Amino acid sequence: MTGWLAFLRTPRGLATALLLLALAALPLLTQAFDQRYLLSIGTRIVIWAIAAVSLNMILGYGGMVSFGHAVFFGIGGYAVGILAHHGITNGWIQWPVGIVAAATWAALVGALSLRTRGLYFIMITLAFAQLVYYVGVGLEAYGADDGLNISRSRFSGLINLRDKASFYWLCLALLCATLWFSGRFANSRFGLVVRGAKSNELRMMALGFPVFRYRLAAFTIAGAFGGLSGILLANEGAYISPAMMSWVKSGDLIVIVVLGGMGTLFGPLFGTIAFFALEESLPPLLDLARKGWGEYWQIVFGPLLVLIALYAKGGIDSLFGRSSDERGHG
């Protein structure tokens, strides 16, 4: 408990606490100012943050550059969508199926791809994600390219997901749970082995750790959380389509994690907010500069990514200085 209080006194801790408070109050604020659109962006930010936190577990802490993480959006989403399409709308069935399906796929992909290194790993994770993407495209019965409108999961009597504010708070609670897990993971013996293997794989192996198995376990867990975010995403729009798992989305997730700060606990959350803020604010800003330019905002966003890759080591999180976490173990 004292650890938390000490954390709150640091600029990073204070900023994070205020941010989480603001996120918790968002539905009330958007209602007060009658800005429903903002709540829908907020919901997507929270859902994407869950996916980003899960990618950070393997990419940030583990150094595994997975270029296919959006596939778990698709697997979680399609699990919900396909079951709903066949009349099974009970969330108590849908959600575990989605998470188990995502974890199973992650275990399978991890078992094959973690045998490789470097560019091979990047490309194999991308290729497996494309494989699932094309399965989605080929599924005529579930809308193929066009996707499928679905009804939202039902948790009868407990929570109504059609209510925007309740759904938002549920997503936020799940994000907090994911962050809590990620923090525990990073400082557990298990997490330290994964992080150690990032900085020196050979040394970890010489110490007797079966690095492959640790990495596979981390990859599978990250897949499970990714699946959870997919389930939420499908419920957010009441819609699934292969576009959920296009490779550009996987690229976006990498951007978010790097932008926020790799291998930091709250970095993925900062990164998601910054990413969506840029996406929402660049078009109107460019329109201010000259009418009609807003449409072409990616012409600014693309070079911005180049600059981030070249010069922004450490991401947003590093603006608060080195974290106690890094000092402790780095």
Selected from 255, 273, 278, 282, the binder of another protein by CB under 8 A is: 255
Could you tell me the two tokens for 249? 């989305």
Q: Is position 144 an interface residue for another protein (rule: CB under 8 A)?
A: yes
Q: Which CB, 24 or 123, lies closer to another protein?
A: 123
Pick the piece of the chain touching another protein (CB under 8 A) from 39-47, 85-93, 128-136, 196-204: 128-136
Q: Which CB, 137 or 274, lies closer to another protein?
A: 137
The least distance separating another protein from the CB of residue 209, rounded to whole angstroms, comes to 20
Number of residues that bind another protein (CB under 8 A): 47
Residues 33-62 within binding reach of another protein (CB under 8 A): 59
Q: Is position 22 an interface residue for another protein (rule: CB under 8 A)?
A: no
User: Binding marks (x or -) toward another protein, 68..107, rule CB under 8 A?
Assistant: ----------------------------------------
User: Binding marks (x or -) toward another protein, 308..327, rule CB under 8 A?
Assistant: xxx-----------------
Contact present, 85 and 146 (Cβ < 8 Å): no
Q: Is position 304 an interface residue for another protein (rule: CB under 8 A)?
A: yes
Q: Is position 194 an interface residue for another protein (rule: CB under 8 A)?
A: no
Q: Is position 115 an interface residue for another protein (rule: CB under 8 A)?
A: yes
The least distance separating another protein from the CB of residue 283, rounded to whole angstroms, comes to 12
The footprint of another protein (CB under 8 A) covers 59, 65, 67, 112-113, 115-120, 122-124, 126-128, 130-131, 134-135, 137-141, 144-145, 247, 251, 254-255, 258, 262, 296-299, 301-306, 308-310
